[in-house]
Amino acid sequence: MKSVYLRKEECCGCSACFNICPTDAITMEPDEEGFLYPLINQEECIDCRKCVNCCPILNENNFKEERVPDLYVSKHKSKEVLLSSTSGGMFAALSDAILRQGGVVYGVDFDDEFKVLHKRAENLEQRDRMKFSKYVQSNLTDIFTQIKEDLIDGKSVLFTGTPCQTAGLRGYFKNSRLAEKLYVCDLICHSIPSPLIWEEFKKYLEKENGGKLTNIQFRSKIIDWTRENSNKTFMFKTTAKDEYIFDERYYKLFFGLKTIVRPSCSECRFTDVHRASDITIADYWGIEKYAPEWMDLKGVSLMLINNEKGDKLLDMIGQDIYFEKRPLQEALNEQQRLSRPVERPANRDEFWKIYKEKGFEYIMENMLE
């Protein structure tokens, strides 16, 4: 096999091919934008085609459910959980339920240098680090292989990630009976930014503010949980200052310019109500219009129950949350990513050309209004 993908738009970087390769012929290598892509060592490849067979992009239905999901509005019963979660605390409820049974949770954390990656949690302390959205594509490393080992040990496993990552995980397990105790939760995903630009942004902040970064929160609830204020609550702290620095520029790079998102996001196969997961979680934007009694400035979640395992998960978390069924149309009205991918910005190529020629500082000083 020469390559798993033909065009960059056809690789979401889920690492399923890397994890499944029986001869370790595949490595995940960053391109010049910092996104990981599989590279096949021709000498090690035995042409078994496992890599293309598990690929969520190449698979005809992308490992998505046929069932039209049920939509729920929900929020955690605990105020502390609401304040320490991005939306309405559904990740906390789901992961608590799995940990209570002695299971393990896989989700997204920072490493010591604030690089973003998937990790394994078997206790609350490790799980808590996975809370809050991190707007950078996470490195999945050999996580699917680790999940397989946990399932072989008979553990229940909850995996959370972007829709292309959960689809990759489904491709890795296909119809394996091992996956019986695997629960898969995806997010509605706007698109996913470049790890290289994230590295550049961290360096820039440290240079500007002095010291080393010690705290990062992309969307805090320091003002409130509303779409209008979500750009104002990106907070950072360095060793040079005691107080938090509020900085909207990463928000502008991501949600404003959109030039830093992965090429495959503009052809995303997962911007659909048919999900490649058991349960989908997101913000319940617009709830104040549809059911004002549910509005809570501390956060409200949207939940899609996609199959029977999703029904089971809802049963498992029912004691910890308030929830109510809602018309699916409400989610379709508010969430663009349930019907169409993010548009590829007209100046994407120009942005990367300028970045290569003039550097990140030039972008920060000239391309953000």
Ligand X SMILES: Cc1cc2nc3c(=O)[nH]c(=O)nc-3n(C[C@H](O)[C@H](O)[C@H](O)COP(=O)(O)OP(=O)(O)OC[C@H]3O[C@@H](n4cnc5c(N)ncnc54)[C@H](O)[C@@H]3O)c2cc1C
Pick 105 or 213: Cβ nearer ligand X: 105
Contact 121, 104 (CB under 8 A): yes
Q: How far apart are CA 43 and CA 33, in angstroms?
A: 27
Place of tokens 């995940």: 28
Helix (H/G/I), strand (E/B), else coil: 325: strand
- Name 133's Cβ contacts closer than 8 Å, sequence gap at least 6: 86, 187, 218, 219
The residue range among 17-25, 79-87, 144-152, 286-294 that interacts with ligand X, by the rule CB under 6 A, is 79-87
> What are 121's two structure tokens?
């949690």
Least distance from C-beta 28 to ligand X, angstroms?
Answer: 16
Q: How many whole angstroms separate alpha carbon 104 and alpha carbon 96?
A: 10
Cα distance from N-terminal residue to C-terminal residue, the chain? 46
209 vs 255, beta carbon nearer ligand X: 255
64 belongs to the binding site for ligand X (CB under 6 A): no
Q: DSSP for 62-93, please give it.
A: TT--SSPPEEEEEEES-HHHHHTSSSSSHHHH
- The answer to the question of residue 131 lying near ligand X (CB under 6 A) is yes
To the nearest whole angstrom, how small is the minimum distance from the Cβ of residue 145 to ligand X?
Answer: 18
- Residue from the set 13, 69, 107, 168 that interacts with ligand X by CB under 6 A: 107
Count helices and strands (H / E) in the chain: 14, 13
Contact between 89 and ligand X per CB under 6 A = yes
For residues 38 and 88, which CB has a smaller minimum distance to ligand X in the complex?
88
Taken in order 204, 209, 214, 216, is the CA torsion positive or negative?
negative
Nearer residue to ligand X within complex by CB, 1 or 89: 89
Question: Which residue, 38 or 163, is less far from ligand X as judged by CB?
Answer: 163
Which residues, 195 to 234, sit near ligand X by CB under 6 A?
none
Q: How near is the Cβ of 290 to ligand X at its closest, in Å? A: 15
Under a CB-based contact definition with an 8 Å cutoff, are residues 68 and 273 in contact? yes
Q: Which is nearer to ligand X, 38 or 299 (CB)?
A: 299
**Which among 110, 118, 120 is positioned nearest to 18, based on CA atoms?**
118
- Tell the smallest beta-carbon distance from residue 204 to ligand X (Å): 20
Considering the complex, what minimum distance in angstroms separates the CB of residue 262 from ligand X?
10
Among 88, 163, 168, 310, binds ligand X (CB under 6 A): 88
Rule CB under 6 A: choose which of 136, 276, 363, 367 binds ligand X.
136
Could you say which of 50, 64, 127, 134 contacts ligand X (CB under 6 A)? 134
Count of residues that bind ligand X according to CB under 6 A: 33
- Residues 245-284, one symbol each (x = binds ligand X by CB under 6 A, - = not), give ------------------------------------xxx-
Binding piece for ligand X, criterion CB under 6 A, among 181-189, 262-270, 305-313, 358-366: 181-189
Residue 194 and residue 236 in contact, taking contact as beta carbons nearer than 8 Å: no
Of the pair 108, 184, the CB lying nearest ligand X is at 108
- Reduced to 3 states (helix: H, G, I; strand: E, B; else coil), residue 213 is strand
Min dist CB 107 to ligand X, Å, is 3
Nearer to ligand X, 19 or 86 (CB): 86
The reply on whether position 194 binds ligand X by CB under 6 A is no
Per CB under 6 A, the list member of 57, 108, 261, 316 interacting with ligand X is 108
Tell me how far, at minimum, the Cβ of 148 lies from ligand X, in Å: 19
Cβ-contact 258, 191 below 8 angstroms: yes
Neighbours of 297 (CB within 10 A): 13
Q: Which residues of 195-232 are buried (b: 16+ CB within 10 A; e: fewer)?
A: bbbbbbbbebbbeebeeebeebbbbbbeeebbeeebeb
- Determine contact, residues 54/168, Cβ cutoff 8 Å: yes
Please report whether residue 189 would count as binding ligand X according to CB under 6 A.
Answer: yes
Q: Which residues, numbered 281-340, are part of the site for ligand X (CB under 6 A)?
A: 281-283, 301, 335, 337
**Given the rule CB under 6 A, which residues bind ligand X?**
85-92, 107-108, 116, 130-136, 138, 160-162, 187-190, 192, 281-283, 301, 335, 337
